[in-house]
Amino acid sequence: MSERDRGDRGPDRGPARPVLDPSLVGGDPAAVPPLAADVFDAMPVGVGLFGPDGRLRHANPVLVDLLGAGLEALRGRTLPELVEDAEQGMVDERLHELVDGRINAFECRLVASPAAGSGLSWLIRAHVAPAFGAAGAIDGLVLQVFEFGPAGAPPPLPAGLAEVLEEGSDFLLTAGPDGHLSYGNKSAREVLGVRVLEGAAHLEDVLESGSLEYYREIVEPQVFSEGSWQGELTFRSREGRAVPVSARIVAHRPTGSVDPGPGAPRSVSMFARDITELKTAERKLRQLATHDYLTGLPNRLLLYDRLEHALNRYVRYGTTVALMFCDLDGFKPVNDHFGHHVGDIVLTEVADRIHSAVRDTDTAARLGGDEFGVLVEGIEDLEMLAMVADRMITAISQPIRVEGTTVLIGVSVGMAMATSEFHEADALVAAADAAMYRAKAEGGNRFVMWDPDREGPDDGLDPVHARPQGPPDSPGFGVGLRPPSE
């Protein structure tokens, strides 16, 4: 392969002989349309466009960077001028076969000039295919890079690299075949408490128990057989805190030793980066996606997901499932009179009361606005379910003190229980919602049970299971605002 630099592609080969020209193919040898250039410039891979004359019309920024020459220096060159010397003849033949229709595409190797200061040449593998004009005839070529990498041996490591690794914020550990640590950089010693100088450091000292088991069963065999592994592990800090890391582990053998062969124990080096902040951000995103931002309760999405799983358990194991929809009575006057700030405080207090009124195994969720939902599993008796609803209504109906004012609200609850003929999630949701609206229509601050077996004018709403529950010192049912007692 000849020496090449960014601006000079070697000895002058004379005028480039067009491989594609208007006499062989159709189309007008016009410039690349601006829209097409913009599209190719935005692509994350190297792309080049050749005109009907076989000369490069446009190269996107990625290809320009890989070839190590400016766009103006590249424009006008033919494909044989951009490939390795040994491939020029092959490319000429493939281009003619492409024009004749004997092949649909081919691959070739481009050569980039040595990057400034790196001492490396880059081999670039590209896919070449015809571009067709409006009439369906070949109107040029499209070149797309699909693989590239340095050619030849890498340059020697720069002086001072050991100091950089020693002082780096990432963890660097080296362990022998038996797991004893022979090296740990400054970060590993300070954060993980690695005691290399005492000869007592071991991988067991830095890996959390779950990660240690995973390392022994999965990671170590792969490292010994394939030479490397990359993934996530959990370290344990010197204070016992879990430290999630993104790690790469490579196997090596001491200089001058005999290669033990694939699968045999080897010394390894481990490069690891603390990703605690990333994991915290991921947890927050998951929390935002599945929980209500104001109350911290599960949101509608998570409640419906748990409902689907609960109904699957009901079908498989017979574990009973009931769903409650709750809509606050008298909440709108609170918002209208005191504003959303006070309304948010009331909603947060209601969420706490609902959560305290149900069992730990139940799911209390905020569905939106002043609507809440409760998923109850494992209650065999309707009376027990009624007790849960009574307890929740009583708790919510208690006065709420907000910024010097006592707020009185109530709640209308609709309930539906899955049966052998009635266990679809959408149907259960619709039934609980309809029962809740019936409870509100009958005066509120009560619950109504949906009975799927009941037929008649009540459309499955069973008044036998409708119980009023009025707030204190109100006749039957009342919702209002009371100033604090003097």
Mean pLDDT of 440-449: 92
Q: Are strands 410-417 and 446-450 parallel, antiparallel or unpaired?
A: parallel
**What domains lie within the chain, and their CATH numbers?**
34-151 (3.30.450.20), 161-279 (3.30.450.20), 292-482 (3.30.70.270)
Q: Give CA separation, 107 vs 112, 248, 294, in Å.
A: 16, 33, 58
Rounded to two decimals, what is the model's pTM? 0.51
- Report pLDDT digits (tens) over 65-108: 888 888 888 888 999 988 888 888 899 998 888 888 888 888 88
Q: Give CA separation, 265 vs 118, 138, 175, 209, 211, in Å.
A: 35, 57, 11, 21, 19
Q: Which residue has the higher pLDDT, 373 or 98?
A: 373
Question: What are the phi and psi torsion angles at 124 (to 5°)?
Answer: -125, 120
Q: Are strands 181-184 and 171-175 parallel, antiparallel or unpaired?
A: antiparallel
pLDDT of residue 3: 40
Active-site residue list: 370
453 — pLDDT class (breaks 50, 70, 90): low
25 — pLDDT class (breaks 50, 70, 90): very low
Mean pLDDT of 306-311: 95
pLDDT of residue 100: 83
pLDDT of residue 197: 55
Residue with tokens 């109906």: 397
- Residues 6 or more apart from 256 whose CB is under 8 A from it? none
**Does 16 score more than 70 pLDDT?**
no
